[in-house]
Amino acid sequence: MADLDQLKTTLLAQIDDAGTPDAIEAIRVAALGKSGSVTGLLKTLGGMTPDERQAQGPRIHGLREAVTAALSEKKVALESVALDARLATERLDMTLPVDAPLMGTVHPVSQVMDELAEVFADMGFAVATGPEIEDDWHNFTALNIPETHPARAMHDTFYLAGEHERPMVLRTHTSPVQIRTMMAQKPPIRIIAPGRTYRSDSDATHTPMFHQVEGLVIDEGITLAHLKWTLETFLKAFFERDDVVLRLRPSYFPFTEPSAEVDVGYSVVKGKRVIGGSEGWMEVLGSGMVHPKVIAACGLDPTEWQGFAFGCGIDRLAMLKYGMDDLRAFFDGDIRWLKHYGFSALDVPTLSGGVGA
């Protein structure tokens, strides 16, 4: 594994030489991204024998931890320099009169959650919630995600320290809500599960904490046709356009079989992609028929009950509908951004008045 030592030396040198946040981000993606060099080494662990894994596992994980720590340290240093430069030039006159609206504004994420609830309520769906700190059985095992699956690795998942009966994590998706609902409620089931989720990722379109909505239907005689109709009806109502067209592509998710990525058609208006039309395709959803193993894990008979599930990012839906370019701005707490993109508290989304009101 001399090449592993060489890779560590090379990556640490590149991090040390990086002079901008963009350069640090490029190194992070090249090393720890989904197709990164370190991620590739982590994926090889599943194919090793137990003896090989015991010997090489600590070295590979040590490499990941060293690179992660170096990236974090360098990023903090660069951000500190940038902040000092900004503070040296930016001034606010605290003696000026307050120029603020009499009523606060609704955050786009809250607005979109209300819109989703309104659209799906019209189709007979209830809103379900669950804990944000989950055990690995609800978050992974019950969803047919094997112990060697890359999603369980610490570079994707935040694990909680301390002694627990089962390993505890910050949930990586709202799918555990589906498991808890199926175990607590007899079919038929029609729910959406919106809420906060957590993954170790951060760039213009990914944040360590983000919002996700998942849908679940469990009943007798459910087919892919029901799934496609539900998604088509939802997207037309949410984007408030009748020319929304869908394309389902075969994919793989451990908890659905068959699985499908859902693309939506878009048009280009003034240089920006706008949902609707068919000038191009954009991926917006993951979906599929609930895997029989998942149904069985919840104590239901998969020969009697079938279902479909889907999921997408609420923040991404807000970006697509309202023309926002950077996901990180959602969490900056900048009142100027909220004044521009926020919604009046009196404009409650309704299907009759328009969910984007």
pLDDT at 2 over 60: no
284 secondary structure, DSSP code: E
Could you please state the CATH topology (level 3) that the domain comprising 108-344 is classified under: BirA Bifunctional Protein; domain 2 (3.30.930)
pLDDT of res. 102: 58
CA 16 to chain centre: 30
Q: Could you read off the pLDDT of 183-197 as tens digits, one per residue?
A: 999 999 999 999 999
Neighbouring residues of 308: CB distance < 8 A, sequence distance ≥ 6:
216, 217, 222, 224, 226, 227, 230, 256, 287, 288, 289, 290
pLDDT band at 115 (very low <50, low <70, confident <90, very high): very high
Give the containing element (helix H, strand E) for 155: none
DSSP assignments along 136-152, one per residue? HHHHTGGGT--TT-GGG
pLDDT tens readout for residues 54-78: 888 888 888 889 889 999 999 899 8
| Strand 256-269 with 133-135, pairing | unpaired
Whole-number percent of the chain with pLDDT over 70: 96
What does the domain layout of the chain look like in residue ranges? 2-89, 108-344
The residues near 264 (Cβ < 8 Å, ≥ 6 apart) are 235, 244, 245, 246, 247, 275, 281, 282, 284
How large a percentage of the chain has pLDDT more than 90?
Answer: 46
